Amino acid sequence: MAVAAAILVTSFTSLPASATLREDLNAVNSKITELNDQINSYEKQAKELAKQADSISRQIAVLQNEQAKLKKQIELKQAEHDQIVLEIEAVQKRINDNYELIGYVIAQYYYNDGVSTIERIASSESFSSFVDEEAHLSSVSDTLGQIVEENKALKESLVQKKKRAEQILADLDAQKEQLAASEQQQQELLAQTRSSESKYNSLKSEAAKERKALEEQQQSILQELARQNNVSGVTAGDPRKGGYPYSGQCPAASLNGTQYSDQWGMYICECVSYAAWKVFQNYGYMPYWGGRGNASQWPANARAAGYTVSSVPRARTVGISQSGPYGHAVWVEAVSGGRVYISQYNYANEATNWLPGDYSEQWVDQGAYVYIYFK
């Protein structure tokens, strides 16, 4: 994981820096940690609200689809209703026409009732035409009543169908109104959810700005501590990669002795170089251990320098694993139960696309390391 640097680049020891600067750095670091927790909380809330908004949007889409289907049903039922109305009007016309014909027949009977049979025969063109007319009147008289009754029955049937169609239309309209009301409620809920999501994103943005200002303050303090201890080149790098000053050069083209060393005699992009930086970033100092940079050497170096080495994890400590020929160093970001959340360099895993020499974070069992308290 790490190889000791053979060349001393700078001379940096744990000479006592200004106590006030150390206190200021500790206060700034605590505020940054607090802001990180707030930002994570805001981001979590915003993501949860985004999921809720997506779910609501899907529900609205379902409601709109149901309304589209309902609209087609209403159009079909309205067309059926309109057709029934036309049929009722046609039947009513037939009934009216039949009533006129009945009036004619009644008039003829009334007329015939005042005229003798001999006179009707005499007024006819022929006896044959008289017989035909009498037969026609008799036939019309016999069938008109039936036709009128049938038309009345047909009209009543159509009226009932019209009522059923109107009831279905009323029910469909009620469903349409209910769906529209449900959609309106969902739209309002979506607007509220998006507003809350925007609020948390805004809070996150404000907290990030405050954190950036604190990180600038942190860097200013570190630069002053570095000046007091004759150290240069410790300007923080990419904050997404632990602020490591050499993050822009990682992963290194090759590791294990070919890349140059950092301010503490550790090869850049190695796990120990990153761990040394995190100690300096958080506490304003990092001992120079004469180029003995292998992670496996750190516990002994720490004890010799008077630092506590423990199996009990704490946040803002260095974790050391003795696995492999050189061991491995990590920075403990947080502790939860029997696990620790770590950041590290030069550990090939999924987060680094299985390539060495780059930054990653992960949860691991606390028993994997011993922990060095630099405070």
Beta bridge partners of 361: 343
Residues 262, 312, single domain; the answer is yes
Name the DSSP class of 347.
Answer: -
176 and 264 assigned to the same domain = no
pLDDT-derived band at 30, boundaries 50, 70, 90: confident
- Where does residue 301 fall: left (phi above 0), alpha (psi -120 to 50 degrees), or beta otherwise? alpha
Number of domains within the chain: 2
Looking at the predicted structure, is the pLDDT value of residue 60 above 90?
yes
Higher pLDDT, 29 or 132: 29
> Does residue 6 belong to any structural domain of this protein?
no
User: What is the pLDDT, as a whole number, of residue 15?
Assistant: 38
Within a domain: 278: yes
The domain of 293 spans 229-373
Q: Which helix (H) or strand (E) holds 343?
A: strand 339-345
Task: List the CATH number of the domain containing 86.
Answer: 1.10.287
DSSP at 261: B
337 in a domain, yes or no? Answer: yes
**60, 199: one domain:** yes
The answer to whether residues 236 and 198 belong to one domain is: no
Clarify whether residues 60 and 200 are in a common domain.
Answer: yes
Which pLDDT does position 1 carry in this prediction? 44
* 58 part of a folded domain: yes
CATH code where residue 328 lies: 3.90.1720.10
The DSSP annotation for 145-168 comes to HHHHHHHHHHHHHHHHHHHHHHHH
For residue 287, say if its preceding peptide bond is cis, omega within 30 degrees of 0. no
| Of residues 225, 273, 275, 263, the one with CA closest to residue 15 | 225
| pLDDT computed for residue 8 by the predictor | 28
Q: Are 241 and 262 in contact (CB under 8 A)?
A: no
pLDDT score, position 288: 85
Specify if 365 maps to a domain: yes
What does the pLDDT look like over 213-251, one tens digit per residue? 998 888 788 878 777 766 666 677 787 888 898 888 888
In Å, the largest CA–CA distance within the chain is 153
Per the domain annotation, does 36 fall within a domain? no
Residues 96 and 189 in one domain: yes
Do 190 and 88 share a structural domain?
A: yes
The answer to whether residue 82 scores a pLDDT higher than 80 is yes
Q: Is residue 163 part of a domain?
A: yes
Residue that the structure tokens 């009209």 belong to? 155
CA distance 144 to 109: 14
Residue 219, phi then psi, degrees to nearest 5 = -65, -35
User: 238 and 183 in one domain?
Assistant: no
- For residues 109 and 239, membership in a common domain is answered with no
Task: Report d(CA 71, CA 158) in Å as an integer.
Answer: 24
Contact, 330 vs 319, CB < 8 A? yes
> Which residue did the predictor score with more confidence, 5 or 46?
46
**234 and 323 assigned to the same domain:** yes
pLDDT tens digits, one per residue of 141-186 = 566 677 777 777 877 887 887 888 788 888 888 888 998 999 999 9
Higher pLDDT, 348 or 16: 348
Kindly state whether residue 46 falls inside one of the protein's structural domains.
no
Q: Which residues make beta-bridge pairs with 364?
A: 340
Q: Do 183 and 266 fall into the same domain?
A: no
Please report, for residues 81, 100, 149, 322, the alpha-carbon distance to residue 93 in angstroms, rounded to integers and kept in the order given.
19, 11, 14, 104
DSSP string computed for 74-115: HHHHHHHHHHHHHHHHHHHHHHHHHHHHHHHHHHHHHHHHTS
- The more confident residue out of 364 and 249 is 364
Q: What does pTM read for this prediction?
A: 0.55
**Does 333 lie in the same domain as 367?**
yes
